[in-house]
Amino acid sequence: MSNIVLDVQNVGKSFVSYRSNLSRFLRWFGLPVRPVHEYWAVRDISFTLHAGEALALIGQNGAGKSTLLKLITGTLRNTVGNIAVNGRISAILELGLGFNPEFTGRQNVYLSCGLLGLSNRQIDEIIPAIEDFSELSEFFDQPLRVYSSGMQARLAFSVATAVRPDVLIVDEILSVGDSYFQHKSFDKIRQFKQQGTTILFVTHSMSDVRALCDRVILLDNGKVLKDGPPDEVVDYYNALIADKENAKLSVQQRRQQDGWLLTRSGNFQAALKSLILMDEATQESVETVRVGQRLVLKLTAVINDNIPRLVLGYMLRDRTGHVVWGTNTWHTRQVVNNLKTGDEVEFFLRFTCTLGPGSYSFSPALVSSDTHLEDNYEWVDNALVFDVINTDKNFFIGTSWLDAVFQISRR
């Protein structure tokens, strides 16, 4: 991908306050008036995007994600740096932005599309598609003030995607409304991406990030903390949140030869000593398993400091990072209490492989309760990777095998 459609270089945005409006006015003309307070929402942001690339901006609230999108769309003016856009941008930012609550949905379509530079004739041609995609029925000709937030999101997305843009920017709006329309919207976004549209969006849904994005930028306090592949940045972000809550930062990442990224974090008061996947019958270690095979996952934890409780949690992921299954011993009521330095605890998880063919990973977490945010002793993403193969005996298609048997009665 050599065609750069968005180039952001050394961009920063500051918000300042002055002692008086006169001071602010003098500053506009370049006079050296010192502000009372200056806050940089984003600073020193640089990245480029190519046609067809999908980038997510992630980070905690207040990290500067929405401010950066507003700078790119021109809603805000950057204090320093340069932003160059090659092509037409379509953006869905704050819910209802650019809509008039007294206008009907149809009237707001004409208003919004007109602001995008479309003529009335062009709007006449696309308005049936907008009405159809939004599925607002009779509400399409009702005032926007009677719309729910989900209905407004439907209208906003339908307008923004009525004509395929060069760059589509979406700020968290897809989290509003029903799951059906979220599904429908993501299908549209995927189609645009395949057709060469560049996607830039803010979301707190890490599964959406893994499924859609080629790249992720993690923002923290208005600066780029990490920029890289989805698995690397998302796992780092999850570990960072846990370690911030525990007031200790210890995050290690290593890309393994098989391509899986191993991310390790925690305070290591309890630590992973070994993790082995075994055939239940032979007790032998396995790296490749068959559909329907009985397995045992054995984890040994070593205690490095006295702790009141120990809980083991697992996440099972597929190659795309999608969480297939997960649970922990807090929810199964198997908490281990009052552990001393030097103790070791063995956990055995017995299960039947009901997965479809492919590559999978287990991510264990040693914690003190039902969440890693209280005490993250150790969390290891993709600690154990294994492959699943199918046999003629269990022929099926899809991602999961069901222990299903046909019964046929002919009359």
Triad 253, 322, 394: Cα angle to 5°: 120
Closest CA to 298 of 321, 327, 277: 277
Three-state secondary structure call for residue 27: helix
Q: What's this model's pTM, rounded to 2 decimal places?
A: 0.76
How far is Cα 43 from Cα 71, in angstroms, rounded to an integer?
A: 12
pLDDT at position 1 is: 44
Q: Rg of the Cα trace of the chain?
A: 26
Work out the percent of the chain whose per-residue pLDDT is above 70: 92
pLDDT at position 153 is: 86
Flag residues of the chain having pLDDT under 70: 1-2, 25-27, 30, 94-97, 173-177, 242-250, 373, 392-393
DSSP annotation string for 93-155: -STTTT--TTSBHHHHHHHHHHHTT--HHHHHHHHHHHHHHHT-GGGGGSBGGG--HHHHHHH
> Any idea what DSSP says for residue 265?
E
How far is Cα 218 from Cα 234, in angstroms, rounded to an integer?
A: 8
Q: Which amino acid, one-letter code, is at 373?
A: L
Convert the pLDDT of each residue in 185-233 to its tens digit: 888 888 999 899 999 988 888 888 888 899 999 999 999 999 999 988 9
Average pLDDT, the chain: 88
Helix (H) or strand (E) holding 335: none
Domains of the chain with CATH codes: 250-394 (2.70.50.60)
pLDDT at position 160 is: 87
How far is Cα 85 from Cα 5, in angstroms, rounded to an integer?
A: 6
* Contacts of 342 by beta carbon, 8 Å cutoff, 6+ apart: 302, 303
Three-state secondary structure call for residue 378: strand
Closest CA to 232 of 37, 56, 8, 7: 56
Bridge partners, residue 313, by sequence: 328, 365
The encoded tokens of residue 57 equal: 């901006």
Closest CA to 85 of 45, 114, 55, 49: 49
The runs of H, that is alpha helices, within 5-119 are 21-28, 65-73, 105-115
Place of tokens 């923002």: 219
The encoded tokens of residue 12 equal: 């920063």
pLDDT at position 328 is: 96
Using CA atoms, how far residue 306 sits from 76, 196, 302, in Å, is 52, 55, 11
The β-bridge relationship of strands 294-303 and 344-352 is antiparallel
